[in-house]
Amino acid sequence: MVSKADLTPHTASATGAVLAWTELETELGWASIATSRSAICALILSDHSDPQGKKLSQAVQGAALKPAGAARARQNQQWIRTAIARLVDETLEPLPLAVVGSPFDLETWRHIQLIPPGETRSYQQLAQAMNRSSAVRAVASACGRNRHALLIPCHRVVRSDGGLGGYRWQLERKARILTYERDAALAQHTNARQNILIKKP
């Protein structure tokens, strides 16, 4: 088992399930989330509010969406906040994810979840970690099919030459998230070092 969180296969459009959706303005842009009663089916990022949920509807591949009621909306918004918090604090409890993808997609996404906050891996390195060195293009395509922004942190996968590569929620946002993580990691390292120095006799 390589994943930090279970990726439960989910076929909402096939089962006729209705997903509850909510949006929230965050420091990383507008976040829209679609959930079943027990898991997050999609989390997307955008520059603008999407009050009709049109972008989210595209992400969930035809599953029916309805605005979340008050209680579900509060839960959904808390899940969004936790998704952002986990970018820099993986001691927080993983959130439940329901995914749609091929076995190769799920394998790729599980390995992406193993990349620590503040670090990156190239598409080539990710393919090698999966023992699929010749599948670099397939790995990149699986990243592009991820519909769980932040939760499956495909923003941590970059090109071998250091370029950002692709990101379905805009390259500028990818760079911003990476900077957000690195700044937090540096601050944590500095605080830890200061605590060690203070404890010295």
Which residues are catalytic, by number? 154
d(CA 37, CA 96): 11
If DSSP states are collapsed to H, E and C, what string results for 168-200? CCCHHHHHHHHHHHHHHHHHHHHHHHHHHHHHC
Read off the DSSP letter of residue 85.
H
SS3 40: strand
For residues 90 and 117, is the Cβ–Cβ distance under 8 A? yes
Alpha-carbon distances, residue 103 vs 9, 14, 148, 186 (angstroms): 10, 18, 16, 36
> Residue 114 corresponds to which tokens in the numbers above?
């193993």
As a whole number of Å, the CA-based R_g of the chain is 18
For residues 100 and 11, is the Cβ–Cβ distance under 8 A? yes
d(CA 111, CA 105): 10
